[in-house]
Amino acid sequence: MEQLKNSILVGKHIVLGMTGGIAAYKAAELCRALVKAGAAVQVVMTDAATQFMTPVTMQALSGREVFTSQWDSKAATDGSGNAISNNMAHINLTRGADAVLIAPASADFMAKLLHGRADDLLSLMCLAKPAEVPLILAPAMNREMWAHPATQRNTLQLKTDGAFVLDVGTGDQACGEVGDGRMLEADEILGDLIAHFTPKVLAGKRALITAGPTYEAIDPVRGITNLSSGKMGFAIAEAMLDAGCEVTLVAGRTALGSPRGVQTIPVISANDMLKAVQANVDNADIFIATAAVADWRPANAASQKIKKDGSGDTPTLSFAENTDILATVASSKRALSGSLYCIGFAAESENLEAHAKAKRERKNVPLLVGNIGPATFGMDDNALLLVDAKGTKELPRASKTELARQLVAEIAKRIN
């Protein structure tokens, strides 16, 4: 998890509370990721949590002394870095904090929070925290405990009381059973925390995004494609979601997992992508065409594998031009009236500014994003050139996640 990916957390003060559960090992990974992201992390553990992870480990990962008892007499440091020696850690630890994150949050601790019980440092701290400091819970428990009506009632009431309760994961559990109730993975919780702090500049908007390469079949085992990894499009989908947008992602074949919270429609060919876009674009306010769509396809794909016959002759391929998806959408009534905002991408190998400007005018889109394809395909970073009717703006090389956030901010300025 690179620093730039999580730059929104730089300077944030996070109080990480840990309750008892095998998922405590994920809290160690989460703590390390938060620190790498630039956040200051103060760990507070219940007695049960120390049975699964030692305070020494969490101190090493956070770089701060860990608190485990309300009777601990060491000075507590508030969010401003002030050390306060008044034996009131339950008060001081959340002053100046940006969030209190409980991970793992056990069923017992969630029930305790619901009833306002405060018989240890962590529950005392949650009860005494300022109202403006968000309380975020990452549940972790056995599938039957999670499904129990009492836990579901508690979860609903905690949300009503203002807590942010994250989803649970599904899969193998430490007890040997399989189902819901696992704590989310560290990177998933980190993503949810980033989303929490991201300004919702596109709240209420709906976006349709294309990403990745298309694949045009020559025969059942061969085809024509390109080097696009889909990383830029997937990063934009996540950034749009974090900004409050409802996102549908039409994705060609990639090695990437579907972003959590994003409706992903897998496709293969350019024609598949066109059909998926046409089926969903009427519900969108924003259309972003990041996919590297093949300009041509074999005119007649063979029904069986084309084999060598030993003669030395090579097969002749004829091509048909694929429909231009971006141009088709940009020429629609909704796009021309301004109710659908279209953004195109241009992956060039040379003369980026000239080609990007020409493509924007040719396809009649308000914003065209250009990049040098060979310098970005498959990589985790990129550099972008934004081209609109007023001129150009460079977004210097950075992680694709960071560039996606910058691009979302630019889109929000233009449509709001």
CA 293 to chain centre: 24
Whole-number pLDDT of residue 5: 45
pLDDT of residue 7: 72
pLDDT > 90: what percent of the chain? Answer: 80
Kindly state the average pLDDT of the residues 289-307. Answer: 93
> What mean pLDDT is reported for the chain?
92
Are 3-197 and 206-303+313-415 in the same CATH fold?
A: yes
Give the residues across from 43 on adjacent strands: 16
Quick check: is 342 catalytic? no
pLDDT tens digits along 354-390: 999 999 999 999 999 998 777 788 888 889 999 999 9
Long-range contacts of 181-184 (CB under 8 A, 24+ apart): 181/139, 181/140, 181/141, 181/142, 181/143, 181/145, 181/146, 181/147, 182/23, 182/140, 183/21, 183/23, 183/26, 183/103, 183/104, 183/138, 183/139, 183/140, 184/138
- Domain locations along the chain: 3-197, 206-303+313-415
Tokens 């493509």 belong to residue: 359
Q: How far apart are CA 70 and CA 31, in angstroms?
A: 22
User: Tens digit of pLDDT for each residue in 153-190?
Assistant: 999 999 999 999 999 998 888 888 888 899 999 999 99
Answer whether 377's CB lies under 8 Å from 170's CB. no
pLDDT band of 331, cuts 50, 70, 90? very high
- The pLDDT of residue 350: 86
| Active-site choice (126, 175, 245, 342) | 175
Name the class of domain 3-197: alpha beta
Question: Per CATH, which fold does 206-303+313-415 belong to?
Answer: Rossmann fold (3.40.50)
Average of per-residue pLDDT across 324-349: 94
pLDDT tens per residue across span 204-252: 999 999 999 999 999 999 999 999 999 999 999 999 999 999 999 999 9
Q: With contact defined as beta carbons under 8 Å apart, do 297 and 320 qualify?
A: yes
Quick one: CA torsion of 380, 378, 370, 384, rounded to 10 degrees? Answer: 10
Q: Report pLDDT for 73.
A: 75
Q: How many CB atoms lie within 10 A of CB 68?
A: 20
- Given a cut of 80, is residue 24 above it in pLDDT? yes
| pLDDT of res. 199 | 94
Query: Can you tell me the distance from the alpha carbon of 364 to that of 39, in angstroms, rounded to the nearest whole number?
Result: 43
Least confident segment among 245-249, 267-271, 396-400: 396-400
Q: Cα–Cα distance between 384 and 147 in angstroms, integer?
A: 47
Identify the pLDDT of residue 177.
86
What pLDDT shows up at residue 75? Answer: 62
Q: pTM of this prediction?
A: 0.86
